[in-house]
Structure 1
């Protein structure tokens, strides 16, 4: 990432199974399956990524579509099926094997399209012990497979969803993610994304997604709140682990460590608050923008109707007649627009205030690391 400046992990395992499943196991440090148990025990974070369907004419595409996509789609449309398709079952084994290989790691799971179904099934098929190690599951543009799960699998999915660990992203303009009707249960919290209408394939491949300035996905107000809660929980958990690591060195926390941890907690909570209100502010801005446009349209319609009704009157006489009924450009357009613009400015200022606060907290953290080399080295070694 960032031209090679940032590393989020290393691909330690690539799977290309007879079922058509293609998946990748990413670890925080390179640690292949051949590594010793001592090395594998050192891995603290694992991400399992499931690839979506192949589109080219190939045996792999045939396996994806004929043996998995179409049969599972029929199961979803009919509200369930007796047995999960082969690729879903092999994907569950992939996740279990990864968790067994790296027994001390927290685990994240990702999947898009067919990969979304694989990921949904894999996390739902875990034992209670293994499911407690799931730190997050993110599924994109895949059908809702909740109905094809067994009661035990549904219970596992429900538990992880209630813990706010699973998120199922759906673009309502995409034709693929079926089965997410009102009141339907799902594997994960359904995050309905804000999107633009694009071509059929691009719509499915995230092409219509809208993003915030920080790169996060724009979602509805409810979705933004759920994602904010997850992000804050993850960050506070990481800070707590950092606190425990600092304490291992013996004694209490140093003054620098206390300042750093307090500032980091403030940053996490403030970011969460900003993300929470992003949806609110976006809706308010849209409402005020629409209000300004509607005011202009209303005045044009009012004026046009007056001219049609009083076709024997001059333009000035029509305007005077409207004014006697208190229908003026000032009352219909200027006053409402002025009010909308004031409210729009306030909403923008609230967002800007959060940005300024986050900048100050970030500067405080940066300053602390610059003035305390020992602390900076501790952070880098984690």
Structure 2
């Protein structure tokens, strides 16, 4: 199932919905309600249905309750007494933003705004402007512990994260705390309208989030005053890929903060021109990784052997549908990747000459030579390699790798389909023999 920007925003909104354990989380897809999973755990509340049982998990949940951490863990399977955590394949974690209703939840609002938001804002500014770093606020630490506990509890699951405002701070801290074995299981992280926690992270934490920069999307609307300490240009010094929204002014700071300025076209966000290249490249890298994961799943399936009892007992039609859906995914994803890469290559070609021409025009009439212009640009990191050649080389490599993965998926799908047909024929023959013997 391919989720567009508007649907991702819809998922993030669910963090503000009041759910109970066991409730289905549903969003609109093509004018139909689609269940993306079931609430298995609620941050800040006592564990239910025995999913949180270890001492470390209970400590994390208690710390979350004491610090005002709010949000949900959503699993692809409804958790019952019979459900095994290792059977869960997909987990979505939702981090809720600050409690805004002081009249209805005074304690929660104080925990968020007074004990977490305000001191964290001061810490970020001190770290960025003065280089002074202090320990992170307790709620951020609790969120990091909850994420690790969940990833340990569901060892075979891949994870997606959604967060808004204060929840975005919790998510940034959580991602920075993850070792490589956890990072490899992150499919995507979507941060909306949050301050920039990157200056406050340790060097090791920065290194970790930079490893999955292309899988973290950090959406900001500069009309929203909450998104402080983000750079005006570029994509460095931030957790993930910074996506600057080409927003509309709704004339209300509260509504602006709550996604009010977001504008969509055919389900996809209007993004400012200066963010488009990085945004497209991150999405292409993410799509390529998902293709690679599908290929690995097929390779594992084939390696296990199609004559095994588990595959003989599988419904043949269902198995064929799985294979065909993977082929369809490979076709759609690869076509998207190739199209974006071709567009990027065409867009980048000639940028160096355009830059030189602009510089020549600026210094026209002076004694400045071409070599002087080139040397001056190089001093600020602008060369033909950094501006044009390196990006084209990267996109060409992604195209080449994508075609290889696509061809491999099609080849594996064909082999598996033949194997399923053979197993099915064998199974029918066995059934006939049993019937005759009976």
229-238 vs 52-61, which moves further: 229-238
- 1:221 corresponds to: 276
Q: In the aligned structure 2, how far is the partner of 1:59 from the partner of 1:208?
A: 30
1:88 matched to 2:123: no
CA 1:130–1:264: 2 relative to 1, 3 Å: closer
Match for residue 119 of structure 2 among 71, 74, 95? 71
Q: Secondary structure at the match of 1:7?
A: strand
Match for residue 150 of structure 1 among 171, 182, 202? 202
Query: Scaled by the length of structure 1, what TM-score is found?
Result: 0.65
2:188, 2:215 within 8 Å by CA — same for their partners in 1?
A: yes
Deviation, 1:274, is 5.4
Larger of the two Rg values belongs to structure: 1
Q: In the aligned structure 2, how far is the partner of 1:179 from the partner of 1:31?
A: 40
CA 1:42–1:180: 2 relative to 1, 3 Å: same
Match for residue 331 of structure 2 among 248, 254, 266? 266
Deviation, 1:238, is 5.0
- 2:212 corresponds to: 160
Extract unaligned runs of 5+ from structure 2.
1-26, 45-64, 308-318, 347-416, 422-438
1:120 matched to 2:172: yes
Deviation, 1:277, is 8.2
User: Over aligned residues, Cα RMSD in angstroms?
Assistant: 3.3
1:172, 1:192 within 8 Å by CA — same for their partners in 2?
A: yes
Match for residue 70 of structure 2 among 22, 28, 32? 22
Q: Secondary structure at the match of 1:111?
A: strand
CA 1:244–1:108: 2 relative to 1, 3 Å: same
Match for residue 306 of structure 2 among 244, 250, 257? 250
Q: Secondary structure at the match of 1:8?
A: strand
CA 1:255–1:193: 2 relative to 1, 3 Å: same
1:224, 1:275 within 8 Å by CA — same for their partners in 2?
A: no
1:1-382 mapped onto 2 (5 Å cutoff):
1-2=27-28, 5-16=33-44, 17-31=65-79, 39-57=84-102, 58-79=106-127, 81-161=133-213, 164-181=214-231, 182=233, 184-198=236-250, 199-213=252-266, 215-219=267-271, 220-237=275-292, 239-241=294-296, 243-244=298-299, 247=302, 248=304, 250=306, 261-273=326-338
88-97 vs 241-250, which moves further: 241-250
Q: In the aligned structure 1, how far is the partner of 2:35 from the partner of 2:341?
A: 28
Deviation, 1:129, is 2.1
Query: Scaled by the length of structure 2, what TM-score is found?
Result: 0.57
Q: In the aligned structure 2, how far is the partner of 1:226 from the partner of 1:117?
A: 24
- 1:330 corresponds to: none
195-204 vs 237-246, which moves further: 237-246
Q: In the aligned structure 2, how far is the partner of 1:258 from the partner of 1:23?
A: 35
Extract unaligned runs of 5+ from structure 1.
282-371, 376-382
1:136, 1:165 within 8 Å by CA — same for their partners in 2?
A: yes
Q: Secondary structure at the match of 1:175?
A: coil
Deviation, 1:258, is 7.4
Number of matched pairs: 279
1:221, 1:280 within 8 Å by CA — same for their partners in 2?
A: no
2:215, 2:282 within 8 Å by CA — same for their partners in 1?
A: no
Deviation, 1:44, is 1.0
CA 1:264–1:18: 2 relative to 1, 3 Å: same
